[in-house]
Copies of this chain bind each other. A is one copy, B any other.
Amino acid sequence: MTDVESFRAELVEFFERELPGQIGELPPATADYWGGRRPELPHPSSQRYCEVMAERGLTAPTWPREYGGGGLDKECAKIVTAELRRLGLPVPLVGFGMSMIGPTLLQFGTDEQKREHLPKIALGEIRWAQGYSEPNAGSDLASLAASARIAGDEITINGQKIWTSYADKADWMFGIFRTDTGGKKQEGITFLLLDMAQPGVEVRPIKLISGASPFCETFFTDARARTRDIIHGVGNGWTVAKALLGHERTMIGDLFGAGGRGRPATAGNLLVEVARDYIGEREPGGRIGDPVLRDRVTQFTMEERCFALTMQRSADAARAGHKPGPESSIFKIYGTELNQRRHELILALRGPQSVGWEGEGFDPRELAQTRDWLRSRGNTIEGGTSEIQLNIIAKHVLALPD
C-alpha cells in the first residue's frame, strides 16, 4: 500500500489504541487547549493529550521536525485533521502561536529564532499575545507610537498597546514598535518578541459590552527585550506585520465562516429548530408558523451556504495548486457579517426572550446567545474593520484608484 495509506494506518493505530492507553479519557472535540505557562484545562487530560501529540509532532503537523513539527506534507496533514474529526478528537493545541507567530517565524525568522521559539509553541509551553493596535493607531496601524530603544543587544520598550487578545493569559508577545520616528511612518517600525513576565509590562483586561474581556490593554514602562528577538531586521517590521495580518484575516474568516470553528456547522438547521421552538409550526414538523420569518431563515441559510461554498472553492483551488485567489479577500468581512446577521436573526426569532442579561425569566441558552450577539458586534471591528477590508478589496482586487 502507498505511503499515504500506511501513514493513515499508523495514525489510526496510534489514535485508537496507543493514545487512550497513554492518556486515559480523551478530551472532547470542543475542548480547545491554548497551552502556556499557566494553562487552562478545558478537560482534565487536555495538557497530557497535547504533550503526547506534540511528541509525535502532531500539534504542528506541517512544521519541520527540527522545530518541533511533524514534517508532514499537505496531504498527510489533511489526513491527520480528517482522522481527528472522525474520532471526535480536538485539535491538540490552538492559539496565536500556532496560527500567527509560528507561520510568521517560519517565513521571516532566522534558523536560530526558529530553533528557540517554534518548539516551545509546538509543545504548548508558551502562549502568545499580539501587540499591534494602539489607542491612536487602530485602522491607521502604521501611525503607532509605542517605542523600542535599542542599546547594544538590549531593547527598552515604552508606550501602550490595546486590543491585545488574552494578553492577561499570555507568556510572550509578538508586536510592532517604533524604532525610528523620522521618515515615512511605515518605515522605522520593528517587529519583535518579548517575554511578558517582567515588571515593565502591565496588563489590564478590557470589559466589552457583552461583559466578557477577551482583550487587554498592555502598558510598557522601560520593558526589556533582546535584539536577537527582532524579526526580519530593524525597520522592516511593517512587512512582517502585514504578512501576519494576512494569516489573521484568514483565521478569523475560517472561524466565523460557515463550518468554521466559531460556529456550529448546522446553523441552518439550528435556526429552523429555534424558529419551530419559539414561533411554532403549522403542524408538527411542518412549516414554521410565521412565513415571513421562515423566509428570513431561508434567506440567511442560503447566504451562509454561498459563503461556505466560496471558502470551499478557495480551499479546492489551493489543493489544485493555484495560489489563493482574490475571493479570499472577502472571508474576513463577510464571515463576520454573517455571524452578526445570524445572531440578529436568532434575536428576532426569540423575541422578548432575547433581551435578558442574567437571572430570572430567561433560560441559560437565551442568556448565552444574547451575550454572543453583543460580542458579535465587535467582529466587524477587531482584526481590521470591515471598512478597512472594503478599502483593501477596492484597491488590491478591483484596482480602483487612490
Q: Is A292 an interface residue (CB 8 A)?
A: yes
Complexed CA–CA distance, A292 and B291 (Å): 7
Interface size on A, residues (CB 8 A): 3
Shortest CB distance A222–B (Å): 39
Q: Is A25 an interface residue (CB 8 A)?
A: no
Q: Which of A278-309 contact B (CB under 8 A)?
A: 291-292, 295
**Which residues of chain B are within 8 angstroms of A295 by Cβ–Cβ distance?**
292
Complexed CA–CA distance, A291 and B288 (Å): 13
Copies in the complex: 2
Shortest CB distance A280–B (Å): 15
Chain B residue, CB-CB nearest to A290: B291
**Which residues of chain B are within 8 angstroms of A291 by Cβ–Cβ distance?**
291-292
Complexed CA–CA distance, A291 and B293 (Å): 10
Shortest CB distance A347–B (Å): 18
Give a binary string over A309-353; 1 marks a CB under 8 Å from any B CB, 0 the rest.
Answer: 000000000000000000000000000000000000000000000
Chain B residue, CB-CB nearest to A295: B292
Shortest CB distance A288–B (Å): 11
Shortest CB distance A296–B (Å): 9
Shortest CB distance A103–B (Å): 40
Shortest CB distance A312–B (Å): 30
**Which residues of chain B are within 8 angstroms of A292 by Cβ–Cβ distance?**
291-292, 295
Shortest CB distance A286–B (Å): 15
Interface residues of A (CB under 8 A from B): 291-292, 295
A-B contact pairs, 4 of them (CB 8 A): A291-B291, A291-B292, A292-B292, A292-B295
4 nearest interchain CB pairs? Answer: A291-B291, A292-B295, A292-B292, A291-B292
